Every structure is written in structure tokens, then in C-alpha cells.
Amino acid sequence: MKIAVVRFPGSNCDHDLLHALKFRLKMDAEMVWWGKKNLDDYDAAFLAGGFSFGDYLRAGAIARFAPVMEGVAKLADSGKPVLGICNGFQILAEARLLPGALMHNKSMKFLCQDVFLKVEAANNVFTGKLHKGEVLSMPIAHMEGRYVADEATIKQLEAQDRVLLRYSQKDGSLSDDSNPNGSMGAIAGILSEKRNVAGLMPHPERVCEALLGGGEDGVKFFTSFIEGTKR
């Protein structure tokens, strides 16, 4: 599997993501600049975190019009995996490849902290090798991470088992205290209807090296993806 790590002006997690995939997990991954339209040579696309185009207007609003998004949309339509992390999630939502929107955190403050995440959906290529109810620990770093959608969309996500990850306590229980940004339903990640496009606000690429502290739950997440693509 060949993965395109999509880089926009303002991306700042692209090298972290590439390192995790290529050097930590030995995957075939390479950086792809935002001006490349054709992604036919790739089997998946990962959109990294950061501040694409300076987050002008709102996070992801300009990046959604970048030429590379034509290739990303084509991959998604063909059923190939597309993953957006943090700013990548915001871009996928702006591009309508995922429903809902990412708004300013309830606190109106930039949040940079470790959070616990309960795996809610396990029947997909991203978390299929994890256990439903399993709790992971990853960092978040965002200002516009509060997931919102209309009532019908939230009901559909829940009914179709498309909530990928949910903010939780260490034991998997839910509370207002464990929902750092005020996301509806404590949603930290979701899936598309075809279940091949995913967006998540936490950063698995930042917890792939034990020497850097914070554990290696990112390895669990990406290993699940690797194993899931072998089905």
C-alpha cells in the first residue's frame, strides 16, 4: 500500500506523520504537495494537521479548494482509505467528504493536552483490529475542534455506527470533564457512509515513539489500519 501524506502551506504535522508511517511502521509513504491533482498512483491519502493556508476564514476553508483535493475526493469515491487528522479532519468536513463541522472550542481557548479516547466503531479499515470499547491515549492540539452537526446527522452517525472515537475517561466512561472541547456527543472522530473516509481531532502520529513520552497508542491505531488493509 502506497500512502500520500498531503501537505498544505501551513501544515506542521506532516513530517511527524510521515516519520510515523515510513520509519516507525515501515509503510510506503511519501509527501505530496497540495498542487498535485492526480493521486491515482496512491492507495490511500492521509491529510496531516497544522494550519493550512493560515486557517484564514476558518480552518480548512481554503484548503478544500486546493488542486490535491480533486485527487483525494477521487480516492474516497473509489472506496480507498482517506484519513484526516486534526486540520485534515477540518479540511475533509469543509470539502463535504465528512458531515458536520469543526467549530471553536467551547472554552474559546487553544487546547493542547492528552486525552482518553474510547473506540466506538471497530468495523472499518482504521480501527478494525482494535476492540470496541478499548481506550487509547493521544494528544490534541486545536482551537477549532468542537464537532457539531444537525440533530439528524448526529442520529445517523450513531445509528450507523459511524462514531469512530469518543472522548472519555480512562475507564471508558463519559463525562463533561472528559469532553475537552464541548463536541456534540463527545465525538472525537467519525466515518463516512462508505466507512473508508475518517476524520479525527487527536494526533496518533505524536504517540508513536516511546522515547518521546506519552506512550505508543498511535502505533496501535496505525497498526490496526495496516492490518485492516490486508483483509
Q: Is 148 helix (H, G, I), strand (E, B) or coil?
A: strand
* H-type alpha helices, 85-230: 87-94, 151-159, 217-228
Q: Does the annotation count 158 as an active-site position?
A: no
Which of 86, 94, 120, 144 is the catalytic position? 86
**Which of the residues 120, 205, 208, 209 is marked catalytic?**
205
Q: Using the 8-state DSSP alphabet, how is residue 224 labeled?
A: H
Q: Who's near 177: CB < 8 A, 6+ residues apart?
A: 169
How far is the CA of 215 from the CAs of 34, 82, 106, in angstroms?
31, 25, 28
Contact, 6 vs 49, CB < 8 A? no
Catalytic residue status for 112: no
- Residue 126 sits at the vertex; the CA angle it makes with 184 and 222, to the nearest 5 degrees, is 110
Q: Which of 13, 142, 144, 203 is catalytic?
A: 203
Q: Are 102 and 202 in contact (CB under 8 A)?
A: no
Q: Identify the CA nearest to 136 among candidates 161, 105, 169.
A: 169
**Cα(first)–Cα(last) distance of the chain, in Å?**
12
Query: Which residues does the annotation mark as catalytic?
Result: 86, 203, 205
